[in-house]
Amino acid sequence: MYELPAKIERGVPDDRQPRFGMMASTRWPVAVVWLTALAVVYTLYFADSLLVPIAVAVFISITCSPVVRFLARWRIPKSLSAAMIVGTIMSVTTLAVLALAGPAEKWLNDAPRAIRGLQDKMLPAKGPMADFQELADEVNELGKVDAPKKTPSVVIQGPGMLENVVGGLPSMLASVGVVIFLSFFLMASGDSILRKATRCGRSWSERRRIVLIARRVQSDMSRYLAAVTLINFLLGAAVALSLHLLGMPNPLLWGVMVAVLNFAPYVGALVSAAVLTLVALTTFPNIVEALTVPGTFIVLTILEGQLITPAVLGRRMALNPAVVFVSVIIWGWLWGIAGALMAVPIATGLKVVCDHSPTLGLFGSFLRDDSKVTNAQKPARVWQTSRRSVVRR
């Protein structure tokens, strides 16, 4: 079977593919650029129900593509490998949801009562505020004596949590179906999409540069997503074990929460710390004992962010902290929680594309944290010359 990307990557020319010239570069008016940007933002915001499952499927296919290529070396068909990977991911996700659904529902039902008890425990029993509250209660009791009886009113209650979950079940199942089938098709298709993308090159060197950039983007993105997933899993396991030793109820639930929210840097850690602090204050009677829970989480998060993640990912994948924070805010506004969790992978993908593209190098410099990157560690870029493609830093 003819594999064009593999031949191009090895430097073997091919004349059987049609050469479609790329569109000539033109200068676009500023108004057209702004209108195009607004149209893109409008589409991202109002088409989130369609685009979020597609983005998740793309990330899954990019992360698992090295596994598919590795299994292909052992004569295992790509379709079978893709089916095995998708089945494994869905089985693990289903088992995790079934295991955590009971503790999560129990905590949500007990949360209002626990928060009211926390308010009674935190507010002083005696003092000016307590006297004022007693006086207000007495005035209300006096007003109730002579107040005329009110006619009964009909209050229409909104749907409860169970009704909301059941109402959103069809759209959730549709999104899950899109993720499953699209991930399978992307992994099973292999290099067919890349083979078609190479036809955009006007010459042999341009087609070879397209293949090199695509390979490097796929390699860097898969390495990044796999490393971040492993780091977050280890962080969640460490938090769950620490909470178990401290006597917190449902430590597995909070460990999974920390692992998932850690995909959104800064914001995810703040949310996890706030939730753990609230749960600890409603669990332990002593405030000093309760504060050891968020303190332990903060220590583990600092170790993960300052030591483990830089050592595993290296300096090449370093992103500007301001860009990371703004990216989480923007994508969270566009796509909600799913957008906040996918913000850093999206920014990393854009950075990888810009680092390996000569026309987008300036934009990539804004995404990169140059204070952590030396000249020897700067990402290699594929530059186009008139006769050959060379790699420069």
Residue 212 within any structural domain of the chain: no
- Classify 356 as helix, strand or coil: coil
Model pTM? 0.73
- Alpha helix locations (H) across 47-77? 48-72
Of residues 136 and 203, which shows the higher confidence score? 203
What confidence score (pLDDT) does residue 297 get?
Answer: 94
What is the gyration radius of the CA atoms in the chain, in angstroms?
A: 27
Residue 71 within any structural domain of the chain: yes
What confidence score (pLDDT) does residue 289 get?
Answer: 86
Q: Strands (DSSP E) along the chain, which ranges? A: 381-384, 389-392
Residue 45 within any structural domain of the chain: yes
Pull the structure tokens for residue 140. 């209300």
pLDDT, tens digit (0-9, with 9 covering 90-100), for 9-65 = 555 554 444 444 444 445 667 788 788 888 989 999 998 889 999 999 998 988 888
pLDDT, tens digit (0-9, with 9 covering 90-100), for 152-188 = 555 455 555 455 555 667 888 888 999 999 999 988 8
What is the domain range of residue 97?
A: 40-122+170-190
Exposure of 34 by Cβ count < 10 A (0-12 exposed, 13-18 middle, 19+ buried)? exposed
pLDDT at 389 over 50: no
pLDDT at 351 over 90: no
Residue 289 within any structural domain of the chain: no
DSSP states of 178-224: HHHHHHHHHHHHTTHHHHHHGGG-SSHHHHHHHHHHHHHHHHHHHHH
Banded pLDDT at 195 (limits 50, 70, 90):
confident
Residue 179 within any structural domain of the chain: yes
For helices 78-122 and 48-72, the axis angle rounded to 10 degrees is: 130
Residue of 349, 366, 56, 342 lying closest to 183 (CA atoms): 56
Identify the residue whose tokens are 């186009």.
Answer: 384
Residue 329 within any structural domain of the chain: no
- Calpha distance 218→63 (Å, rounded): 8
- Calpha distance 253→272 (Å, rounded): 12
- Calpha distance 176→53 (Å, rounded): 7
Banded pLDDT at 144 (limits 50, 70, 90):
low
What confidence score (pLDDT) does residue 173 get?
Answer: 87
Residue 118 within any structural domain of the chain: yes
- What is the helix (H) or strand (E) element at residue 194, kind and residue range? helix 192-197
Exposure of 246 by Cβ count < 10 A (0-12 exposed, 13-18 middle, 19+ buried)? middle
What confidence score (pLDDT) does residue 21 get?
Answer: 42
What confidence score (pLDDT) does residue 147 get?
Answer: 47
pLDDT at 337 over 50: yes
Pull the structure tokens for residue 378. 């700067």
- What is the helix (H) or strand (E) element at residue 201, kind and residue range? none
- Residues whose CB falls within 8 Å of the CB of residue 207, separated by 6 or more in sequence, listed in order: 8, 17, 198, 199, 201
- Classify 171 as helix, strand or coil: helix
Number of domains in the chain: 1
Banded pLDDT at 203 (limits 50, 70, 90):
confident
Of residues 80 and 223, which shows the higher confidence score? 80
Amino acid at 295: G
Residue 128 within any structural domain of the chain: no
pLDDT, tens digit (0-9, with 9 covering 90-100), for 233-289 = 999 999 999 999 998 888 999 999 999 999 988 889 999 999 999 888 888 888 888
